[in-house]
Amino acid sequence: MLNYNKILLTVIVLISQQLVYGQNKKGFSISGELKGLQDNTLIMLQREKDTVGVTFVKNQRFQFKGFADQEGEPYFIKIDTTSKKYSYQIKGAIRIIMENKPLLLNGDLIDLSTTALTVTGSDSHDDYKGFVLLQNEILRPANSALSKMNLALEKYGANGKRKVDSLYYADCVIEFNNALQKVEDSKRDWINRHRNSLVVPWAIGISIGGEEREKAYAGLTQRAKDSYFGKQLLEAIETERRNAVGAVMTNFEFQKPDGKSLSLKEVVDMSKLTIVDFWASWCKPCRASFPKMKDLYAAYHSKGLNIISYSIDKDESAWLKALTQDNLPWLNIRQTHGMAEEIYGVNTVPSIFLLDHTGKIISNELRGEALYKKVEELLGSK
């Protein structure tokens, strides 16, 4: 159910934005026409988590006006199909890369994907759509080659009764690697040709990592660096630097399940090696790794190994239930303010950091047997 009191407040905000727009001709307008829209359907315009405008459909058309503080930022148009009788419910939203210009949106309600819709008036949106189309085109050969590899394994290695045709499989691998190299080369070429674009930092962020990403960022124009995606990319680069091998892991304080406080630095100071394991109760690979981690802890805790399991669970009861079920013998904490992603760059779990006695990061990608061997190497065999 929609909260119509909130909608009324949003309408007031929209009116104030239109007043600003009237005073500043550089504001944006979005004129949308989508085949299949019913009159009086509620349409919402959002940026990040805020609704910045609401309107209703008339003659399959709708319009928004306002001012974008940050050009190049993605705005989202959401269509409420719950209050009208549609044959299907629309999930997700239309993404538009905003500029303070008159924008036209055309398409069909059946397909609201970026590639199916036509948005005119925003050069930034043109760049965004262009990169999406490029990805779709260059990934097809790579996906085809990957399917051939999987088919070769399935056909020649099923149930171990037949050996894999090694020559054919090798050809498939070569085809896949060549296709993958073309994907990377094509993305780099696009990035080099769009260094002034407001969306090129987004393309860099999803295409390139490590030192190469920093070099790509350094090669951008100041306009691109100052953009919405440029600021996000810089934050990602700084987060990666903070958590790179050789950096000292950022300290944090936490409360244990018993309510007592402790900090990472205190744990590091009493340890020769410290493992910080980011996980969640709903993560099957995380929990499947615990038996091996218990073996590691049993073998090396007395030699100076400590482990902190850092849960990203939002539901405290789910976390506590998992702790009871898995009976983890080391330190266990749960985040409450999103630090895992914001400070440590953890956006997937499991994510494991191995620290030395000073808190310096030895590894940020080892797990399972590889992690066991690294600890054994550093602390000696049992």
Paired strand residues for 275 = 307, 354
Residue 172: Cβ-neighbour burial (10 angstroms; 0-12, 13-18, 19+): buried
Q: What is the pTM of this model?
A: 0.78
**Amino acid type, 97:** I
- Give 290's Cβ-side CA count (13 Å radius): 21
Q: Which amino acid is at 228?
A: Y
Q: What is the pLDDT of residue 24?
A: 47
Nearest to 123 by CA among 210, 242, 227: 227
Give the burial string for 143-159 (b: 16+ CB within 10 Å, else e).
eebbebbeebeeeeeee
pLDDT of residue 339: 74
pLDDT value, residue 157: 57
pLDDT at site 3: 56
Q: What is the pLDDT of residue 340?
A: 78
Give 4-121's CATH code, choosing from 2.60.40.10, 3.10.290.10, 3.40.630.40, 3.40.50.1100: 2.60.40.10
pLDDT score recorded for residue 43? 94
Nearest residue to 205 via CA among 287, 131, 151: 131
Rounded-to-integer distance, Cα 264 and Cα 251, Å = 6
Domain boundaries of the chain, sorted by first residue: 4-121, 125-242, 253-379
DSSP string, 169-200: HHHHHHHHHHHHHHHHHHHHHHHHHTTT-SSH
Positions in the chain whose pLDDT score sits under 50: 1, 4, 8, 12, 15, 19-24, 160
Three-class secondary structure of residue 31 per DSSP: strand
CB atoms within 10 A of CB 377: 9
* Tokens coding 213: 């990403």
Residue 116 has phi, psi (to 5 degrees) of -85, -30
pLDDT, position 341: 78
Six token digits for residue 177: 């690697």
- Do 360 and 372 touch, CB atoms closer than 8 A? no
pLDDT given for residue 71 in this prediction: 92
In the block, which residue shows the tokens 């409420």?
Answer: 80
CATH topology of domain 253-379: Glutaredoxin (3.40.30)
If phi > 0 it is left, if psi is from -120 to 50 it is alpha, else beta; for residue 45 that is beta
CB 46 within 8 A of CB 6: no
CA distance linking residue 248 with residue 22, whole number of Å: 52
Tokens of 238: 């700084």
